[in-house]
Chain A
Amino acid sequence: MSRTAFTNARLIDPASGFDQPGGLLVENGLIADLGPHLFNDGLPDGAEAVDCRGRVLAPGLIDCRVFTGEPGAEHRETLALASKAAAAGGVTTMIVMPNTDPVIDDVALVDFIERRARDTAIVNVHTMAALTKGLHGEQMTEFGLLLEAGAVGFTDGVKSVANAQVMRRILSYAAHLGALVVQHAEEPALATGVMNESELAGRLGLAGIPAVAETIMIERDLQLLELTGGRYHVSQISCEASVEIVRRAKTRGLPVTCGVSAAHLQLNENDVQSYRTFFKLSPPLRSEQDRLALVAGLADGTIDVVVSSHDPQDPEVKRRPFAEANFGAIGLETLLPAGLALVHNGDLPLGRLLAALTCIPSDLLGLGRGRLVTGLPADLVLIDTDVPWKLEPASLKSISKNTPFEDRLFQGRALRTMVGGQTVYVQGEER
């Protein structure tokens, strides 16, 4: 029997609001016991002891939006490498997007991802399958069969389902299966630019993407949702108006949820100033006012989950003029530190941040994880919330280094990550 005893921890279970000093015992891959006085009578026999020195022990993070290059673009990142980056970032479960080559739009391909992940990845991997065949936005995929194969939700990833009739039928069909429909909300006809449409875009001579490209799509989908019912999730919102729309829809009781990326919570369009392509994201980074609205939306629960939107891109597609470069930035290893920056700023309680990274995504996707509860798999992260460090791209686990947080000073990081009772990462120790 393998046992690990975490002693002197600050245990935080975001779902219950539990936040107390104590210990936690892992046995055979499961959380066996936890509590303030757990190890008062000494450690159990044969347990490996981990002295947490008062640092936060929380459920491992669940990242709902991760792109990898497997299959089809393994030079950007494999599932195995992405999982190492995840472990280093305290992420114990990553949900991978279907935007691969081939597209994950078929039962056999979901099965491929599950098997590859089982054989090569060191964290839990779940698949979000395509909403439409080939991501073409026309023909829906086999939601029922894909769910049975293990898909946890459906999305066209970086593409919107633009055709309203197709979307209506998707929502309607998915509703009776209880499947989660995840939209990348961006009206493609309006989203032909490369950054936020603003005075800055005008000065830089870059084509803009207006915020209404996002809000039109969300408003349309919400009206369809009123017709169909079902579960609708916007993968990422980027502007103040979208926060307002989702807030109103939730007040009306519509079954809508949404996410935001850590980059959008930390950065704004001014970072594009020097044409740095690592800041070229979809949806684009918007104004500081939008960023503040996103932070407020996360704090008050309008925004449900925080994602990394981890998207490795190689230098060949990033070392280009801004308009010609690919969208996307990596983020698995900066998800937690970027979130903690909000906590340090006083924008957000730590518990709220962790909830958006653990129990809420777990409930959204039906994963049955993300909590400190006896009997659950021991997916855990030990967090030093205060340690200062500088992000040096060379030290990142990701092979693609397209991080918008290059050389940024952070406060706080994951010290140790455990997945199903196995320690998969210890900060400062290469494993």
Chain B
Amino acid sequence: MTNADKQLSPVFPYRHLLGIEGLSPSDITALLDLADTYVEQNRQIDKKGSVLRGRTQINLFFEASTRTQSSFELAGKRLGADVMNMSVSSSSVKKGETLIDTAVTLNAMHPDLIIIRHQSSGAVELLSQKVSCSVINAGDGAHEHPTQALLDALTIRRRKGRLEGLRVAICGDILHSRVARSNILLLNAMGARVRVIGPPALMPKGIERLGVEVFHNMKKGLEGVDIVMMLRLQLERMAGSYVPSQREYFHFYGLDYSKLAHAKPDALVMHPGPMNRGVEIDSAVADDIDRSLIREQVEMGVAVRMAVLDALSRNLPNELALAGGRS
């Protein structure tokens, strides 16, 4: 069986990827396995595939993003899709066009895949109900960011060989973090043991009912963990509204070597980016090539997004791309 034949079989029985919620461990494993093959492809000189040849992919970003948008753009292009980027904050929304009108307008141009980021929780799900193509959630408010959780899982799995049984600590602003929610759901589904660490004001009510252990003391929370996942804390939330100041936050919740020493000796550090160096993470830790997976996460991001695009495109109704000849 050739590689191309293998890739034609459906691996992911959904039309959209709106969140990790609702995915089974086998769905997640299938995506990670497919992503593994793209990691290898991306390390070749010829990185170009053709599973999305003829397909149109639109990156519809209502919220500014550099790394997620470029990662999706590169992923689509490496699979042969035509990719269009739209940053909507700068165009029609300012003219009063409604969110749904924007989506319906784009839909009329027959895209096959739309990748959406929006500042409101639930906005991507809302739009997915109004379009006829596949939708990928690239982050909606404080709700979910499924491809981030998948790329984190891929990064961990490649370094630790497994997800099951690992102790993972997610640290920082859990309340406002879609990355935290998607990661909690994914890691729990895959049998990891998840802790969340942060000040009480940055914890959502009832978080423990999601199946995590809650710690307010970072040193205690890091004891015996395999993975330390840091979250970004938006600077405006540190001006006395949620926590008193940046320096107080860093003192108690910034990751430095002295706190990291409480984790397992081989514990690895992750961060979804962009980092606030000196606020939630010490520069030396972030740049430590033995401990930090931060650059690897970016690499895995492209592979995971290629896997998601590939998997969803196999379920698209029109067969034109398949007829394009990958025999």
CA distance A395 to B140 in the complex (A): 35
B111-147 CB mask vs A (1 if < 8 Å, else 0) is: 0000000101111011000000000000011111000
Give the nearest-CB partner of A316 in chain B.
Answer: B98
* CB atoms of B206 and A322 under 8 A apart: no
B99, B144, B205: the one contacting A205 at CB < 8 Å is B144
Question: Which residues of B have CB within 8 Å of A324?
Answer: 120
Q: Say yes or no for A72: interface residue by CB 8 A criterion.
A: no
CA distance A274 to B126 in the complex (A): 9
Stretch of A112-120, A194-202, A335-343 at the chain-chain interface: A194-202
Of the residues A202, A205, A320, A321, contact of B206 by C-beta under 8 Å: A202
Shortest beta-carbon distance from B70 to chain A in Å: 24
From known contacts A199-B206, A275-B126, infer whether A205 and B98 are also in contact, taking CB-CB under 8 Å: no
B204 contacts A by Cβ under 8 Å: yes
Min CB distance, A211 to chain B, in Å? Answer: 11
CB distance from B218 to the nearest CB of A (A): 21
Asked whether, in the complex, the Cβ of B181 is within 8 Å of the Cβ of A203, the reply is yes
Q: Is the CB of A323 within 8 A of B205?
A: no
Contact between A204 and B205, CB atoms less than 8 A apart: no
A169 within 8 A of B: no
Point out which of B21, B98, B121, B181 has the most chain A C-beta atoms below 10 A from its C-beta: B121
Residues of chain A within 8 A (CB-CB) of B275 are none
List chain B residues, Cβ under 8 A from A322: 120-122
- B21 proximity list for chain A (CB < 8 A): 203
Over the window 163-176 of chain B, the binary record of Cβ atoms lying under 8 Å from chain A Cβ atoms (1 yes, 0 no) is: 00000000000000
What residues of B have a CB within 8 angstroms of the CB of A274 in the complex?
125
Whether A204 pairs with B98 at a CB distance below 8 angstroms is no
Residues B121 and A320 in contact, CB atoms below 8 Å apart: no
Does the CB pair A206–B121 fall under 8 Å? Answer: yes
Check A202–B125 contact: CB distance below 8 A.
Answer: no
Q: Considering the complex, give the chain A residue whose CB is closest to the CB of B184.
A: A203
Asked if A230 lies at the interface with its beta carbon under 8 angstroms from chain B, I say no
Please determine whether A202 and B122 come into contact, CB atoms closer than 8 angstroms. Answer: no
A319 at the binding interface (Cβ < 8 Å): yes
Q: Convert A166-189 into 0s and 1s, putting 1 for each residue whose CB lies closer than 8 angstroms to a CB of B.
A: 000000000000000000000000
CA of A204 to CA of B205 in the docked complex: distance in angstroms? 12
In the bound complex, do residue A205 and residue B207 qualify as a contact, i.e. CB atoms below 8 Å apart? Answer: no
Q: Which of B122, B207, B209, B210 is close to A321, meaning CB atoms less than 8 Å apart? A: B122
Q: How distant is the Cα of A324 from the Cα of B144 in the complex, in angstroms? A: 17
Q: How far is the CA of A271 from the CA of B114 in the complex (A)?
A: 28
Judge whether B122 and A206 touch: CB under 8 Å. Answer: yes
Which residues B61-105 have CB closer than 8 A to chain A? 98-100
Number of cross-chain contacts by CB at 8 Å: 69
A140 to chain B, nearest CB (A): 33
| CB-defined contacts of B142 to chain A, threshold 8 Å | 205-207
B15 within 8 A of A: no
B178 within 8 A of A: yes
The CA-CA distance from A98 to B211 in the complex, in Å, is 47
**Minimal beta-carbon separation of A358 from chain B (angstroms):** 40
Interface size on B, residues (CB 8 A): 24
Expressed in whole angstroms, the Cα–Cα distance for A324 and B99 within the complex equals 11
Task: A319 to B120: give the CA distance in the assembly, Å.
Answer: 13
**Any B CB within 8 A of the CB of A312:** no
List, in ascending order, chain B residues with CB within 8 A of A204's CB. Answer: 121-122, 143
User: Assuming the A-B contacts A199-B209, A205-B144, A316-B98, are A321 and B204 also in contact, with contact meaning beta carbons closer than 8 angstroms in the complex?
Assistant: no
Q: How many residues in A have their beta carbons less than 8 Å from beta carbons of B? A: 20
A323 touches B120 (CB 8 A): yes
For the complex, what is the distance from the CA of A321 to the CA of B99, rounded to whole Å?
A: 8
Chain A contacts for B120, CB-based, 8 A: 320-324
Residue A331 is within 8 A (CB to CB) of chain B in the complex: no
Also in contact, A323 and B204, with CB within 8 A (given A205-B142, A205-B178, A316-B98): no
Contact check, A275 vs B121: say whether CB atoms are below 8 A apart: yes
- In the complex, which residue of chain A has the Cβ closest to the Cβ of B209? A199
Asked if A320 and B98 make an inter-chain contact with CB atoms under 8 angstroms apart, the answer reads yes
Residues of A within 8 A of B181 (CB): 203, 205
Chain A residues near B210 (CB, 8 Å)? Answer: 199, 202-203
Complex interface: chain A residues within 8 A of B204 (CB)? 199, 201-202
**CA–CA, A202 to B99, complex, Å?**
24
Can you list, as one digit per residue, whether each of B300-323 has a CB less than 8 Å from chain A (1) or not (0)?
A: 000000000000000000000000
Question: Residue A377 at the B interface, CB < 8 A?
Answer: no
Least distance between A183 CB and chain B CB atoms (Å): 26
Within 8 Å CB of A29, what residues of B? none
Q: Which residues of chain A are within 8 angstroms of B178 by Cβ–Cβ distance? A: 205
Task: List B contacts of A319 (CB < 8 A).
Answer: 98-100
Q: What residues of chain A lie closer than 8 Å to B125, measured between beta carbons?
A: 274-275
CA distance A201 to B209 in the complex (A): 12
A208 near B: Cβ within 8 Å?
A: yes
B98: A residues at CB distance < 8 A: 316, 319-320
Q: Smallest Cβ distance from A388 to chain B, in angstroms?
A: 29
Check A321 against B126 for contact (C-beta < 8 Å): yes
CB nearest neighbor in A for B123:
A321
Mask of A320-352 contacts with B, CB within 8 angstroms, 1/0: 111110000000000000000000000000000
**A372 to B57 Cα, complex, angstroms:** 67
Which of A202, A207, A316 has most chain B Cβ within 10 Å? Answer: A202
Q: How far is the CA of A292 from the CA of B209 in the complex (A)?
A: 22
Tell me, in angstroms, the Cα distance from A321 to B144 when the chains sit together.
14
**A201–B205 contact, CB under 8 A?**
yes
Does B126 lie within 8 Å of A202, measured CB to CB?
A: no
Contacts A275-B126, A316-B98, A321-B126 given; does A205 touch B209 at CB 8 Å: no
Give the chain B neighbours of A316 by CB distance below 8 A. 98
Known A205-B121, A322-B122, A323-B120; contact A197-B141, beta-carbon cutoff 8 A:
no
Shortest distance between the CB of A318 and any CB in chain B (Å):
11
| Cα–Cα, bound, A201→B203 (Å) | 12
Complex contacts, B126 vs chain A, CB 8 Å? 275, 320-321
A207 to B122, CA, bound (A): 12
Q: CA A206 – CA B205 in complex, angstroms?
A: 11
Give the contacts of B150-186 with A (CB-CB under 8 A): 178, 181
What is the CA–CA distance of A206 and B210 in the complex, to the nearest angstrom? 15
Residues in B with CB closer than 8 Å to A202 are: 204-207, 210
Give, as a whole number of angstroms, the nearest-CB distance from B21 to chain A.
8
Closest-by-CB residue of A relative to B142 is A205
Tell me which residues from 389 to 424 in chain A have a Cβ below 8 Å from any Cβ of chain B: none
Chain A residues with Cβ under 8 A from B205's Cβ? 197-199, 201-202, 208
- Chain B residue contacts of A207, Cβ below 8 A: 142
| Chain B residues in the interface with A (C-beta under 8 A) | 21, 98-100, 118, 120-123, 125-126, 140-144, 178, 181, 204-207, 209-210
**Given known contacts A197-B205, A319-B98, what 7 new A-B pairs fall within 8 Å (CB)?**
A199-B206, A202-B205, A203-B210, A316-B98, A321-B118, A321-B141, A323-B120
Task: List 8 A-B pairs, Cβ < 8 Å.
Answer: A198-B205, A201-B205, A203-B21, A205-B142, A208-B205, A275-B122, A319-B100, A322-B122
Interface residues of A (CB under 8 A from B): 197-199, 201-208, 274-275, 316, 319-324
